[in-house]
Amino acid sequence: LEEFDTHDPKENNALLPYIRKRSKIIEIVAARDIVFALSQSGVCAAFSRVTNKRICFLNGSPDEVVRSLFYNKNNDSLITVSVYGSENFSALRCKTTRIEYIRRGTPDAGFPLFETESLKWPGFVEFDDVNGKVLTYSAQDSTYKVFDLKNYTLLYSISDKNVQEIKISPGIMLLIYTRTSSSIPLKILNIEDGTVLKFFNHLLHRNKKVDFIEQFNEKLLVKQDGENLQILDVRNFQLTEVSSTEFMTPSAFIFLYELQLFLTFRNRSVAVWNFRGELVTSFEDHLLWHPDCNTNNIYITSDQDLIISYCKADSTDSFSEENGKIWYPWSVRLA
């Protein structure tokens, strides 16, 4: 068991005061023999699992605040998404650095990505590991672009001001358009080349807010406020409904592609559903530590046969120092 620390007053002295202060870790990424840790203040450090020592910091300039990390297994590199004080922290900047350069302690050998894109808020960049794609959105000209994650070449663009959201699923993309009072236009594209596979209008209950629309292969999940969950097979438009008393709007989803199931998180509870609208199981011993669950608090193995979650302990395990024993009010659970 080793302890790594991203905070180093000597090394961090060149950074801006806001970045220098100690803050909690919000993201950990493991890539081969290197562990990357990102702090809330935007400091990113790389640690060697061989020597158990820090290799380097990935902040390339004093005003760089790293916002997120992505390990690109296609070319064994780390992508950092950052904002800079010189730009009033308003634009996302991406950089890729090969793991071998980081291992040598030369993170400045990396190079910037998507320099031609204007990624100012509400613009974004999204990395799709399943399909090996990158999706960017430039709010300046309402343009989405899809890049190849292997070599970062541009594959195609989507310029449409009526597109409100894009959902990515294995092999396809779902374009969600501006809704009318009684329906919402939806378009399904082949993610490889952007060709249109289907375009249709899904009927809605009037004057009811749409809680979510999610795409899982050929299944479309639609939920409106106070209404039943709808599971639509877009191949034949067969519709399955789940009562709103049985299925309440979750705060997050995780799709289990191998098992054709999906996890839902609501408050501190976890449940597993199939696409016939049936509750497969609920983890009664899994009371999640964070009430507003973020999927980063859940780890699922690549075979999708093991779930590791950060949970509240049983009531008998509450914090106590009686009789010289210390019990902590949290636990790690496996399922």
Cα 310 to chain centroid distance, Å, stands at: 17
How do residues 154-201 score in pLDDT, each as one tens digit? 999 999 999 999 999 999 999 999 999 999 999 999 999 999 999 999
287: Cβ–Cβ under 8 A, 6 or more apart, which residues?
A: 268, 269, 311, 312
pLDDT of residue 110: 94
Find all residues with CB under 8 Å of 19, minimum gap 6, and list them.
12, 41, 42, 43, 59, 62, 63, 65
- Domain 1-113 in this protein, CATH class: mainly beta
Q: Where are the domains of the chain?
A: 1-113, 118-159, 161-249, 251-335
**For residue 247, what pLDDT is reported?**
95
Residue 196: per-residue pLDDT: 96
At 330 the pLDDT is 39
Q: What is the pLDDT of residues 294-310, one digit of tens each?
A: 555 667 777 777 777 76
- Give the pLDDT confidence score for residue 18 in this predicted structure: 57
CA distances from 261 to 223, 249, 266, 272 (A): 17, 17, 17, 7
66 vs 93: CA distance, rounded Å = 9
Q: What value does the mean pLDDT of the chain take? A: 85
Read off the pLDDT band of 320 (50, 70, 90): very low
Query: Higher-confidence residue: 148 or 287?
Result: 148
The answer to whether the CB of 189 falls within 8 A of the CB of 199 is no
Q: Which residue did the predictor score with more confidence, 227 or 256?
A: 227
Question: What is the arithmetic mean of pLDDT over 225-247?
Answer: 95
Q: What tokens were used for 141?
A: 């000209």
pLDDT at 293 over 50: yes
Phi then psi for residue 78, to 5 deg, are -110, 130
Q: What is the pLDDT of residue 303?
A: 76
Indicate if 161-249 has the same CATH topology as 1-113.
yes
Helix count (H) and strand count (E) of the chain?
2, 27
pLDDT over 70 at 62, yes or no: yes
161-249 domain in CATH 3.90.660.10? Answer: no
Q: Does residue 329 have a pLDDT over 60?
A: no
Supply the pLDDT for residue 23.
Answer: 79
